Amino acid sequence: MSHSVKIKNALISVYYKDNLEPIIHQLNKLGVKIYSTGGTEKFIKDLGVDVIPVEDLTSYPSILGGRVKTLHPKVFGGILTRRAHKGDEAQIEEYDIPEIDLVIVDLYPFEETVKSKASEQDTIEKIDIGGISLIRAAAKNHNDVVIIASKNDYSSLNNLLETQNGETTLVQRKAFARNAFNVSSHYDTAIFNWFNQDEDALTVFKQSEQKASALRYGENPHQKGYFYGDLEAMFEKLNGKELSYNNLVDVDAAVALIDEFTEPTFAILKHTNACGIASRPQILDAWNTALACDPVSAFGGVLICNGEVDEATATEINKLFFEVLIAPSYSAEAEKVITSKKNRIILKRKDVALPGKLFKTLLNGVIEQDKDNTVEGIEQMTAVTDKKPTEQELNDLFFASKVVKHTKSNTIVFAKNNTLIASGVGQTSRVDSLKQAVVKAASFDFDLKGAVMASDAFFPFPDCVELAAEAGITAVLQPGGSIKDQDSINMANEKGIAMVTTGVRHFKH
């Protein structure tokens, strides 16, 4: 073995003691001298294994309520000494410092403490000092020292102890050091982000996710893909294959859209855009109405609702080929029906808080923004035309404004009776989006008379209003803000339709 190091002395001080016992017994079997502190020292003693208190090594007790236990030259000198360095060797001999070849240490549960809504003082007490210092020291000196900074590495260490008689290679020690720096960097990022929440927060970008899932591929088969995060915390998968990269992108869009609605609602998405969505008193009616919006595009789509799927609804959904279905719950009968085909992905959504920031890589950096959490209710709609919208039109405009916000720009959305009638999506001009929506509605025999229209951005010209009115639209919602707003308002007055402005644009790229 290249640059093999035999473990003779070990320092063990951990918060979590799960699965530590086999390692203690194996070290004892190999004749390794063990140093420890506090609860870990007691744990080792209770196993009937000899252990030396760190206080006996340092001649100092644990002080300041346990804040200072291992911060001492006799500890760090033993970890950081370079075995092949004559000066280091002479000094540790002079000061009677034992070489420490193995450090097993973990960190106080800072993130768990934050999640528990503990007080500020309790949270600060969970900022580890000695542990993080031991990790960095041992990982830095991985040329001679093994560092185990997580219980996730216990199994690997125990296997090495058993199969290599307590010896390790440089390659193995370097791998453990890499894992240790991953632990320490994640820990520091969590602490920094907790501190950096005030109004005067530093404008720096720090994110760290420890869980990773390899995807079948990225957006296309020739691209690698990974998801970083804890999907199991958000969804219980009841059936189907693993989520793909494109599935995840669509699921994210579906969740963002459905969260706009409190009444029973069903949505169908393709390539992050809704091709069908409807709100009804019953989920079954919402499903049937949403599917009727565009049954062609619904094929292979991502389906989502905000109420329980019952057997009757599941039976109707089962007639369609789809990729993913998401709901907060399913009746037992519905679950049997909907899981009858092995590849379709069935997810039960859990109540999990979602991030308030969005970011992505761009050029040679990263861009970040606040999530668009603004929705303009009826009270934010300002009528700017001679004709005012009716109560039904206002309700439909509110429905349409929630859909248009989650549709790719440039976009136009037609809605009627809390139902998506048609949309024009992702066009390079707004009037082309409008024309696309008109054609789409006609292709499924929807009558646009009495329908409303929402636009994600203002109208630079009156042509959209003119064409919409001629198609049967009776009320229009737009943010306003164009220097030519009056031209569109005049056109609406000329055509005898209502228009409201909200003052809020909802581009989505």
| DSSP one-letter string for 335-372 | HHHHTSSTTSEEEEE------SEEEEEETTEEEEEE--
Quote the DSSP letter at residue 40: H
Tell me the C-alpha distance between 477 and 454, whole Å: 5
Among 140, 186, 348, 387, the one annotated catalytic: 140
Among 8, 271, 348, 387, the one annotated catalytic: 271
8 Å CB contact between 367 and 360: yes
299: Cα separation from own chain's centroid: 27
A 10 A CB-CB count for 290 gives 27
Which two tokens mark 170? 């440089």
Contacts of 360 (CB under 8 A, 6+ apart): 366, 367
User: Which helix (H) or strand (E) element contains residue 195?
Assistant: helix 170-195
Ranges assigned E (strand) in 74-191: 102-105, 146-148, 167-168
Distances in Å between the Cα of 332 and the Cα atoms of 238, 273, 321 are 12, 30, 21
8 Å CB contact between 387 and 498: yes
DSSP β-bridge partners for residue 10: 34, 102
- In the residue annotation, 186 being an active-site residue is answered as no
- In the residue annotation, 271 being an active-site residue is answered as yes
Which two tokens mark 121? 């003082």
Q: Amino acid letter at 108? A: Y
DSSP β-bridge partners for residue 103: 11, 147
DSSP β-bridge partners for residue 146: 102
- As annotated, the active-site residues are 140, 271
